[in-house]
A = this chain, B = another copy of it.
Amino acid sequence: MSSGIRILGIDPGSQITGYGIIEGYGSRCRHIDNGVIRPKTTATYSARLHHIYHQLLEVIATYQPNEVAIESLFYAKNPKSTLQLGQARGVAILAVTEAGLPLHEYSTRLVKQSVVGHGNATKAQVQYMTAKLLQLPAVAAEDAADALAVALLHAQQHRFCDH
Answer yes or no: A79 CB below 8 A from chain B CBs.
yes
Which interface residue of A45, A49, A80, A84 has the most chain B CB atoms within 10 A? A49
Chain A contact-residue range equals 20 to 34
A50-B98, A103-B46 as given contacts; A83 in contact with B73, CB under 8 Å: yes
Which interface residue of A45, A53, A83, A91 has the most chain B CB atoms within 10 A? A83
Chain B proximity of A81: nearest CB distance (Å): 10
A50-B97, A94-B91 as given contacts; A75 in contact with B79, CB under 8 Å: yes
Answer yes or no: A86 CB below 8 A from chain B CBs.
yes
Main secondary structure of the interface of A (DSSP, over half): helix
A86–B82 touching, CB < 8 Å: yes
Determine the chain B residues whose CB is within 8 A of the CB of A83 once the complex forms. 73-75, 82-83, 85-86, 89
Closest to A89 in B: B87
Choose from B74, B79, B87, B97 the contact partner of A93 (Cβ within 8 Å). B87
A46–B87 touching, CB < 8 Å: no
In the assembled complex, 13 residue pairs joining A and B whose CB atoms fall closer than 8 Å, in A order, are A46-B96, A46-B97, A50-B94, A50-B98, A73-B83, A75-B79, A82-B82, A87-B90, A87-B93, A88-B90, A90-B91, A90-B94, A91-B94
